Amino acid sequence: MKKEVSINGRIVFPLEEGYRAVILTDNRLIYTSLVVEIMEERTDYACFETLNSVYKVRLQPVPARVTLPTFLKMCA
């Protein structure tokens, strides 16, 4: 039986079997082992199995408004 990991966060790159998942949570990145099966993927939830664990990720929405850093505002 594999370890279950339930977390809140954002999946940085699209999930793909054979590749690691990268999850951003609490301002830190989690790199998983290779994804072996994507069980469920919705806009608010993802469940997938890696070589070592089963991840259940409640996906946090990406903010609609982002404040641009001052140096980028000067480029516009």
> Considering its fold, how many domains does the chain have in total?
1
pLDDT of residue 63: 57
DSSP code, position 74: T
33-47: average pLDDT: 97
DSSP code, position 71: H
CA 40 to chain centroid, in Å, comes to 13
Per the structure, the complete domain to which residue 33 belongs is given by 3-73
Instruction: Give tens-digit pLDDT for 11-33.
Output: 999 999 999 999 999 889 999 99
55-70: average pLDDT: 72
Tokens of 36: 């072996």
